[in-house]
Structures are given as C-alpha cells and as structure tokens.
C-alpha cells in the first residue's frame, strides 16, 4: 500500500496513549471496588458487572479511530489503467529473400498472414501502423485505430531488392514521434514488431537502430521467418538465403523486446500477450481513503450498538 500523505501517519502515535489511558482508568475503577470490606453486601446492592462486554465498545472505538487515521493519510492502491495512445508499428520485410518457400507457402506470404492476424487480434485501445522495408523503409499505414486500413496496406505489398532493417526501425520511430500534435514532446507509449528473415544489407546499421530505440524507450520485438535451407531464384540463379536469427535476436534483446520464431505458433501467440501487458496499461496510484472511512463508520456503528444493547447508553 502507498500513502499519498505519509506525513499524516504520525497521528497513529496517539493510539498507544489512548489505550494506556483506558487501561489506567480500568485499574483505578478496580481499586475503588475493593474498598468495600463487606463483599457479600456489595454483591447484593451493586448491579451485576458486565465483565468482558465493557471492553468491546472501547476496542471497537479504537479500531474506528485507527481506520480514520489511516484514511486521513490518503492510502492508495496500485491499479492498471489502459493507455489510450498506445501505438504499435508493424514493420514487414519485403526483400527478395522473402520469396523463399522454406516457410510455406513462402516467407513473404507467411509474414503477411502473421501481420494481419496480429493486427486483427490487438485490443481496440491500440493504435497500429505499418512499415514496409526492402532497400528503404516506408510508412504505408499511419498509426490509427483503423484496422481495415492497416490490413489493406499489407495486401498491397510487393517485393524489392535489398534489406534495410535499421531504416525500418528509424521509420517506425519517426511515425511514433509524429503520431499526434503532442507526440514530439510527449510521444505515445510504443512498441515495434519487426517481421523479417534477418539480414541487414543497406542503410543504417542494426546497432544504430538499437541506440535510437533505447533512447526513445521503444522496444523492438522481432519475428524470424525462414530456415537455414532457404533459397530463391533471382534472374535465373538460385541463391541461398539462410535466416539470420542472431541479428533479429540481438535487436530484440538490446531494446528490451522479445525474439520469436514464425515456425512456433505458440510463440506468436505470446507476442499479443507480452505487448498487451507491457504496453497496454500503466500503473497509477488511486486514493482509497473512502474505503477506510467506510469501514471506520461500520466499526463506529458496532461500538454504538453494543453500548446501547448492553448498557443503554452511547460510549
């Protein structure tokens, strides 16, 4: 529990003093009782002593005071609050190596299907944009809540030469910084999901992309498409295009993202869960003083009811 006004807790120091005063009064009352030497006569003329019941109202009263003092210090609970501006950029590799069919029906088609499925399953509170990258990177769907526009942009993708993973990250970060009028000074919480077979052959380096992502506090999660045995036919020549999982894992690990493999359906489902918990909510401390005040009132009513029932008077 967190207290929004912890300096007010000093009032709790009064409670031991109140308890001590009560105990002293009870001891003094006991000493007065033993002054009567004829105990048999005393038992006849004095009303029956209430025993333990006489302490119940006092105990309930002290609990009530304790709860009210805690409430006065403004206790707060940690709660998860949805982030309305949370933004995800899906960056898709459209380089020629994605033609390889080692991931059926091809790396490219598998990546498009995974991206559309990912976008379709995201909660409505997320904004989503799409970046396509080959020799350069382009924002083909600006971040918004329009899932249809994002998915339609993926259907229009075409393959091109070379692979610029670093540029894909920089373009995604720029989309985050231009999300709305406040984004340049107060960027929305964001996450980049990059789908690729892993080789960076042009543009800025992966390390430069890592540095930029860390500076912007935007994690990059990667999904690797491909196997060590992929090949493509380019201009009549068969070229080996082995997946570079190490590059993608390094990018993810260095930016506090997660690295996944497209061949593992369970891992792909983890993407939604991990991003949803890390990006979709923020923790806030909310004042719950009213909760303690309400419980204190219940104890006050209990103390008053007990005193009226047993002694026909209020404490």
Q: Is residue 51 domain-shared with residue 144, that is, in the same domain?
A: no
Q: What is the 3-state secondary structure of 17-82?
A: HHHHHHHHHHHHHHHHHCCCCCHHHHHHHCCCCCCCHHHHHHHHHHHHHHHHHHHHCCEEEEEEEE
Tell me which of 120 and 155 has the higher pLDDT: 155
Q: Is residue 92 domain-shared with residue 174, that is, in the same domain?
A: yes
Please give the Cα distance from 233 to 228 (Å, whole number): 16
Q: Is residue 16 domain-shared with residue 108, that is, in the same domain?
A: no
Q: Which residues contact 48 (CB under 8 A, 6 or more apart)?
A: none
Q: Is residue 181 domain-shared with residue 242, that is, in the same domain?
A: yes
Two structure tokens written together for 51:
């025993």
Q: Is residue 17 domain-shared with residue 62, that is, in the same domain?
A: yes
Give the pLDDT mean for 152-159. 96
Look at residue 42 in the predicted model and tell me its pLDDT: 47
**Which residue range is the domain that position 54 belongs to?**
2-77+288-311
Q: Is residue 59 domain-shared with residue 174, that is, in the same domain?
A: no
Q: Is residue 121 domain-shared with residue 255, that is, in the same domain?
A: yes
Q: Is residue 123 domain-shared with residue 247, that is, in the same domain?
A: yes
Look at residue 98 in the predicted model and tell me its pLDDT: 95
Give the pLDDT mean for 237-255. 94
Two structure tokens written together for 66:
């304790």
Q: Is residue 257 domain-shared with residue 147, that is, in the same domain?
A: yes
Question: Which residue in 130, 124, 125, 128 sits closest to 111, CA to CA?
Answer: 130
Q: Is residue 166 domain-shared with residue 300, that is, in the same domain?
A: no
Give the pLDDT mean for 169-181. 94
pLDDT band at 278 (very low <50, low <70, confident <90, very high): low
Tell me which of 309 and 224 has the higher pLDDT: 224
CATH of the domain at 166: 3.40.50.410
Q: Is residue 219 domain-shared with residue 141, that is, in the same domain?
A: yes
Look at residue 33 in the predicted model and tell me its pLDDT: 52
Count of domains in the chain?
Answer: 2
Please give the Cα distance from 240 to 229 (Å, whole number): 7
30-80 pLDDT, tens digit per residue, is 565 555 555 555 455 555 555 566 677 778 878 888 888 888 888 888 766
Tell me which of 69 and 283 has the higher pLDDT: 69
The pTM (predicted TM-score) of the whole model is 0.66
Look at residue 125 in the predicted model and tell me its pLDDT: 80
Which segment, 30-34, 204-208, 236-240, 282-286, is predicted with the most confidence on average? Answer: 204-208
Look at residue 131 in the predicted model and tell me its pLDDT: 98
Two structure tokens written together for 14:
């009064």
Look at residue 170 in the predicted model and tell me its pLDDT: 98
pLDDT of 272 higher than 70: no
Summary mean pLDDT of the chain: 83
Look at residue 133 in the predicted model and tell me its pLDDT: 98
Q: Is residue 66 domain-shared with residue 202, that is, in the same domain?
A: no
Q: Which residues contact 297 (CB under 8 A, 6 or more apart)?
A: 64
Give the pLDDT mean for 265-279. 64
179-223 pLDDT, tens digit per residue, is 988 888 888 889 999 999 988 999 999 999 999 999 999 999 999
């Amino acid at each position: 529990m967190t207290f929004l006004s912890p300096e007010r807790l000093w009032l709790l120091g009064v409670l031991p003093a109140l308890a001590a005063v009560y105990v002293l009064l009870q001891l003094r009352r006991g000493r007065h009782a033993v002054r009567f030497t004829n105990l048999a006569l005393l038992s006849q003329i004095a009303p029956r002593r209430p025993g333990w019941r006489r302490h119940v109202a006092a105990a309930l009263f002290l609990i009530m005071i304790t709860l009210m003092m805690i409430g006065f210090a403004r206790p707060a609970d940690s709660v998860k609050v949805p982030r309305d501006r949370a933004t995800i950029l899906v960056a898709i590799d459209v380089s020629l190596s994605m033609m390889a069919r080692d991931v059926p029906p091809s790396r490219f088609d598998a990546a498009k299907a995974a991206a559309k499925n990912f976008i379709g399953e995201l909660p409505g509170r997320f904004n989503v944009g799409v970046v396509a990258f080959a020799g350069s990177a382009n924002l083909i769907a600006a971040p918004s809540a329009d899932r249809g526009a994002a998915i339609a942009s993926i259907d229009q993708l075409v393959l091109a030469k070379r692979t610029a993973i670093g540029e894909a990250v920089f373009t995604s970060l720029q989309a985050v910084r231009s999300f709305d009028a406040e984004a340049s000074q107060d960027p929305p919480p964001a996450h980049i999901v990059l789908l690729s077979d892993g080789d960076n052959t042009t543009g800025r380096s992966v390390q430069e992309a890592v540095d930029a992502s860390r500076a912007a506090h935007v994690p990059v999660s990667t999904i690797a498409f491909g196997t060590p045995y992929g090949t493509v036919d380019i201009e009549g020549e068969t070229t080996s295009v082995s997946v570079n999982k190490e590059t993608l894992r390094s990018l993810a690990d260095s930016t506090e993202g997660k690295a996944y493999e497209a061949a593992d359906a369970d891992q792909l489902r983890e993407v939604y869960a991990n991003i949803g918990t890390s990006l979709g909510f923020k923790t806030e401390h909310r004042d719950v003083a009213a909760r303690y005040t309400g419980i204190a009132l219940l104890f006050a009513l209990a103390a008053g009811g007990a005193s009226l029932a047993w002694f026909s008077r209020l404490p």
